[in-house]
Amino acid sequence: MKTTTYFVLLLLLVASLPAFALDYTITFTGNGASTTVDNVVVQNLTRGTSVTVPSGNVLNLTDAVTSVEQLNATADFIRIFPNAVKGKSTVSFYAKQAGRTQINVFSLDGRKVAEKIDNLQTGVNSFQLSMPKGSYVIHVSGNGYSYTTKLMNQTATISKPEIVYFSTEKPTTFAPQKSRSSTLGTTTMAYSTGDQLLYKAVSGIYSTIITDKPTGSKTTNFGFIDCTDGDGNHYAVVTIGTQTWMAENLRTTRYRTGEIISTTTPATKDIMSENMPKYQWAYDGNETNVAKYGRLYTWYAATDNRNIAPTGWHVASDAEWTTLGNYLIANGYNYDGTTSGNKIAKSLAASSDWPSSIKTNVGTISNDLTKNNTSGFTALPCGSRSSNGEFWNIFNLGVWWSYPETSATNAWATALSYDENDMNRGVGPKNRAYSVRCVRD
């Protein structure tokens, strides 16, 4: 009787939905340094969700309700049991490849009510869901897979949504059948008109970022550009207005000539007495910080004539930072959509790694991270280093060198702070260490 009641209620819910559900198909192509697209990581910045679209697949954008109707396409790979229960269920799904997996739970109006991100092993992974009374869409996305299913809880015994890891079984115990979705070449993502999407496309050593708010089916083309430093590191790039920027902080230990950029041992060594110190450091001397946050450079190293930038690129000037800011303001990237005043910090800041707090004022970077990074610039709170060897403000502040100098000891820099809404232009001592972003020549 409970099962019958559940399916009757589900049919009533689906029958009450709009007759014309959102259904967009996004196709990806490439040009420039490469014409192929290996994969595209798609982030719905508004919802805080992401999927990976592998080579040969198209992206299907569909509203959260339509995702319920997609269940049959992935039902062989994901199961919920028992369903229609008193608050707690187990969701089990087949992870085709090991890696980062995101589980999102949405209410039928598209609001995200719970989230869990884990690094999982290949095989059947199980999680316990504890949900308040209501009907939900469960979306699972991982390395090469994306599943959707539904859940209905008819009682109110649970007050706080929760997702807890339960177990992993070997792949041989699940043996899913080939589903329709695996032959269609389609990756599905929940989407509502006006959601902000960020695409990061990879083609071999090249990576390009584009942001968009699709209003229909379309082809998105990525211009792949070489951005390789003296160490052989490759960088994602983003075009904003007439400028093409690195979408990551520089992390090289070599000039373009191949010469080493010095560092100090220990990393906290005082360099205040040195006349023109040309150094670089990992934050706190910890090399594990470099892959995400890049390296910190003194102004002397950043502007040395041996050239720290990748070939075809240069360290951004103060005028180029100003051009970036003016473009974003004039084109409605202020947090409130206006086209005057400097309120563009959220559009530049990444949607992760910054502190998230409702206590900061509306429009600041940390107030609702889902509204960040509409430009694709992906600025991170990379901190800085003082001339006496103190590392400070990682997770709260990002500062980037520029030129020209303002005096014999100071030069221009640009900063973003977690509790402010503007891109701040200021002056810093040349023997401090800040991050570096480069612009294409």
Which pLDDT score is estimated for 94? 83
Which pLDDT score is estimated for 35? 95
Which pLDDT score is estimated for 123? 83
Which pLDDT score is estimated for 243? 98
DSSP assignment letter at 411: E
Which pLDDT score is estimated for 17? 39
Q: Hey, is 336 helix, strand or coil?
A: coil
Alpha-carbon distances, residue 40 vs 56, 60, 73, 141, 221 (angstroms)? 10, 13, 21, 13, 11
Sketch the domain layout of the chain as residue ranges. Answer: 2-212, 235-440
Identify the architecture of domain 2-212 in CATH: Sandwich (2.60)
Which pLDDT score is estimated for 214? 94
Rounded CA separation 142/119 (Å): 9
Four-residue CA torsion sign, 209, 241, 340, 325: positive
Tokens 């690094």 found at: 119
The token pair at 86 is 């008193």
Tokens 């075009």 found at: 239
Beta bridge partners of 239: 244
Task: List per-residue pLDDT tens for the chain, 441 residues long.
Answer: 443 443 333 334 434 434 445 789 999 999 999 999 999 999 999 888 889 999 888 999 987 543 333 333 344 578 877 655 566 888 888 887 787 888 988 887 677 888 888 888 888 888 888 888 888 888 888 777 778 888 877 666 667 888 998 888 866 444 443 333 333 478 889 898 889 999 999 999 999 999 999 999 999 999 999 999 999 999 999 999 999 999 999 999 999 999 999 999 999 999 999 999 999 999 999 999 999 999 999 999 999 999 999 999 999 999 999 999 999 999 999 999 999 999 999 999 999 999 987 677 899 999 989 899 999 999 999 999 999 999 999 999 999 999 999 999 999 999 999 999 999 999 999 999 999 999 999
Rounded CA separation 137/152 (Å): 9
Which pLDDT score is estimated for 412? 98
Instruction: Give which of 357, 292, 58 is closest to 187, Cα–Cα.
Output: 58
Which pLDDT score is estimated for 20? 46
3-state SS string for 154-172: CCCCCCCCEEEEEEEECHH
